[in-house]
Structure 1
Amino acid sequence: MIERIETGIAPSSAPINDAVRAGKHLWLVAIAEDPDTGEIVQGGIEAQTRRCLDNLSIALRAAGGSLLNLVMVQIFLIDGADAAGMNAVYREVFTQQPYPVRATVVVKELLAKGLRIEITATAVLD
């Protein structure tokens, strides 16, 4: 059975979830949207990366886990030049081995206007 994790981040009006669980496995998606305002955060790739990782952390806590439970992270950037700024924030957040496996892909565009990054992730919970 698939269980929706209520994070308070994904808009209830859209047919999407930002976190679902099946057994011990959790699948997540995060964009740089402020959960309080519903707006895409401004301030460049560093601010957007931080917000995405904060949103992942919120979703993981709602499921009873933390960033330490991540096993795979996929990052989508609209500009390869943003990789350095994204990596700087990523290194601040992920400081403990083993790091999650990661793939970073540059795409033409992301759905939400002003969005420079989107992150999907997989976690295993105890």
Structure 2
Amino acid sequence: MHKASIKTDLPATGLPFSWGVTLDHLIFLAGQGPLGPDGKVIEGDIRVQTQETLENFRRVVEAAGSGLEHVLSTTVYLKNLTDFRGMNEVYSEYFMAEPRPARATVQADLLFGMKVEIQGIAYIPESATRARSRARTHPKARRGPKRRREKSDTRRRA
């Protein structure tokens, strides 16, 4: 099993978590919120915040080598359950293909003025997994300069 943090262009939060982690072909996404490039919460109604949240969600999934069509499950956290309809309208635009992800929606006291947060589980398709595996094992895929071994002088000096 190979566990790795997903490198994204999302802003660093200074908090002790990864935006996403892969374990072999599975992707585990942290709760994504409506954060802009500056790391601050985007102002707006539930539709605006849900769209920004799902764009961040998409960035993490794509950075892992997958797409939204490979999302298996999501958990949607809403500050106010009265926002369900607006969130669901935007959510439906991102997950149109069948089968749609399994989903739970719960009310939560969200931080930093967020109205919505979405976490999820996705998978990396086998074709992308094979390509990543080949890249890791291909001799030219090694990173960094080659190290030369220094010949050590094993003779004893008097």
Same fold (TM over 0.5): yes
- Structure 1: distance between partners of 2:83 and 2:11: 25
* Shift in Å, 1:13: 2.5
Counterpart of 1:100, as a letter, is P
TM-score normalised per structure 1: 0.92
CA shift, 1:3, in A, is 0.2
| Among 35, 53, 56, the residue aligned to 1:33 | 35
Q: CA RMSD in A?
A: 1.1
1:114 alignment partner in structure 2: 113
Asked if structure 2 preserves the Cα contact closer than 8 Å seen for 1:10 and 1:16, the reply is no
Structure 1 unaligned runs (5+)? none
Verify the 8 A CA contact 1:45 1:82 in the aligned structure 2: yes
- Runs of 4+ aligned structure 1 residues displaced above 4 Å come to none
Map of 2:25 onto structure 1? 24
Equivalences for 1:72-91 in 2 at 5 Å?
72-91=73-92
Q: Report how many residues are paired.
A: 123
Residue 38 of structure 2 is aligned to residue 46 of structure 1: no
8 Å contact 1:18–1:59 — kept in the other structure? yes
1:116 offset after TM fit, Å? 0.7
Structure 1 residues 71 and 93, CA gap change in structure 2 (3 angstroms): same
Partner of 1:123: 122
Conservation of the 8 A alpha-carbon contact between 1:10 and 1:17:
no
State the secondary structure of the residue aligned to 1:105. Answer: strand
Of structures 1 and 2, the one scoring higher in RCO (CA 8 A, sep 6+) is 1
d(CA) in 2 for partners of 1:101 and 1:48? 21
SS in 1 for 2:74: strand
The structural deviation recorded for 1:8 is 2.2
> Could you tell me which amino acid in structure 1 is paired with residue 110 of structure 2?
L
Unaligned runs of 5+ in 2: 126-158
TM-score with structure 2 length normalisation? 0.74
